[in-house]
Amino acid sequence: MPDFCPRCFWLGEHMDLPFERGFPGIFISIDSYTKAVVNESIRRGDGLPNWLAHIGQVKSVSEPTYRKFGVILEGVRLDGSPDALLQMDDASYIVLDYKTARFTPTQDKLMPVYRVQLNGYAMIAESLGMAPVSRLGLVYFEPPEPAQKDVFNATAKRLTTADGFSMPFTPRIHWVDKNFDQIRKLLRTAMSIYERNDPPAGEKGCQDCERLGKLVSFINSAGDVS
């Protein structure tokens, strides 16, 4: 990302800082539900749901977990948990990651991260013998557009029942190019920052850095006392 800060990365890896970036629980539930919808359709023998069927004929699907889906590359353990790893009829693999979001300029800005995420999964898959990975896809599940008020209201009415309501999501796929060289380069960069004895300098103009510096000094001095 253009605003990547090596200092923040170093501090995060070397110190037990009392905060972390959480992932809202509601998205974990939606992701799990999406996986169930897609993967159970394949396991039942029905193939991909209609709205993903244009991807091709699927032989099987797996949802590898962090513990098993990892390799050491450039001295760094790279692991992950792709939403779907599809084995296609032509024996190649497709990696998919689901995003519950509308594709907006904000999402577009996150594309460098998503590209690395998908390429990382693909690299792990190929290193573990699941090769070749032929395509990497981000599947956006987009909620209805509130600006189209008529459609929005009609859909809301149609999908409201005595027990609650359903919300439709429209899938939209963005294919991402394979670029393993970039992953290797990033792993080498990560390692070179991590191996430093002291943190690199912070980004100029970052207003939080002074406060972060005080927190780090406080944690270090508390460690000295204990």
What is the binding site for ligand SF4 (CB under 6 A)?
A: 5, 7-8, 202-203, 206, 208-209, 212
Tokens 């956006």 locate to: 140
Q: How far is the CB of 9 from ligand SF4 (least distance, A)?
A: 8
Q: State the pairing for strand pair 133-142/93-99.
A: parallel
Q: How far is the CB of 99 from ligand SF4 (least distance, A)?
A: 25
Q: How far apart are CA 31 and CA 100, in angstroms?
A: 7
Q: How far is the CB of 215 from ligand SF4 (least distance, A)?
A: 10
For ligand SF4, which is the closer residue by CB, 116 or 193? 193
Alpha helices in 15-148 (DSSP H): 25-43, 105-109, 111-127
Q: How far is the CB of 189 from ligand SF4 (least distance, A)?
A: 16
For ligand SF4, which is the closer residue by CB, 54 or 204? 204
Q: Which residue has the CB atom at the shortest distance from ligand SF4?
A: 202
For ligand SF4, which is the closer residue by CB, 5 or 156? 5
Q: How far is the CB of 1 from ligand SF4 (least distance, A)?
A: 11
Residue 9 has, within 13 A of its CA and on its CB side, a CA count of 18
- The values of phi and psi at residue 85, to 5°, are -120, 105
For ligand SF4, which is the closer residue by CB, 12 or 56? 12
For ligand SF4, which is the closer residue by CB, 5 or 73? 5
For ligand SF4, which is the closer residue by CB, 10 or 114? 10
Q: How far is the CB of 39 from ligand SF4 (least distance, A)?
A: 38
